[in-house]
């Protein structure tokens, strides 16, 4: 598979070397609306606060990521760059999904599903080699898919 990005026309092409291509047109900075990206990012950060809270999956996550520690112990130890990286990655996801919506229109959920499957599948080998438990995989990948769904919903809703 060949993936190319023509930075002058902001066209992303993917296809086999035989010449078959699927083109995703997105004038990246010119057509991406800032407000939906900001709203999608904030919604995803709020989702993260709930997802990793004691009411949802904090106990499982803390048990496996910080063995032997309590939730109260780790709240002060998470560096600011972890939250910054999370925010930046969510902005990237929102910009990409905005581009997908512009090109795919009504098929944006189909593309979101394909992207979600790729995201989940790409994590399997990491978790397997690191011998991380299935419960942690389900919490983390479940969150990634929930973020993708949230971002897609916000971007789609605000575009209509």
- Reported as a single tens digit per residue, the pLDDT across 114-136 is 888 998 999 999 999 999 999 99
State what percent of residues in the chain have pLDDT above 70: 78
Query: Which tops the pLDDT comparison, 27 or 53?
Result: 53
Side-chain-side CA neighbours of residue 94 (13 Å): 28
Instruction: Please list, residue by residue across 107-116, b when 16 or more beta carbons sit within 10 angstroms of its beta carbon and e when fewer do.
Output: ebeebbeebb
Residues whose CB falls within 8 Å of the CB of residue 87, separated by 6 or more in sequence, listed in order = 41, 45
The encoded tokens of residue 98 equal 């905005």
Q: Which pLDDT band holds residue 31 (cuts at 50, 70, 90)?
A: low
pLDDT at 15 over 50: no
When pLDDT is cut at 50, 70 and 90, the band that residue 51 belongs to is very high
Q: What is the pTM of this model?
A: 0.76
With H, G, I as helix, E, B as strand and everything else as coil, classify residue 15.
Answer: strand
């Amino acid at each position: 598979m060949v993936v190319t990005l023509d930075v002058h026309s902001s066209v992303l092409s993917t296809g086999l070397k035989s010449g078959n291509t699927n083109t995703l047109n997105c004038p990246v900075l010119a057509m991406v609306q800032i407000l939906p990206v900001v709203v999608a990012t904030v919604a995803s950060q709020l989702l993260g606060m709930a997802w990793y809270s004691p009411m949802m999956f904090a106990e499982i996550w803390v048990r496996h990521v910080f063995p032997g520690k309590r939730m109260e112990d780790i709240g002060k130890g998470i560096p600011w760059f972890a939250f910054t990286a999370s925010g930046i990655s969510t902005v990237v996801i929102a910009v990409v999904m905005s581009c997908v919506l512009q090109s795919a229109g009504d098929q944006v959920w189909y593309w979101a599903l394909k992207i979600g499957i790729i995201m989940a599948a790409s994590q399997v080998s990491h978790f397997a080699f690191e011998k991380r438990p299935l419960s942690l995989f389900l919490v983390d990948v479940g969150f990634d898919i929930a973020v993708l769904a949230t971002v897609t919903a916000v971007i789609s809703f605000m575009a209509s």
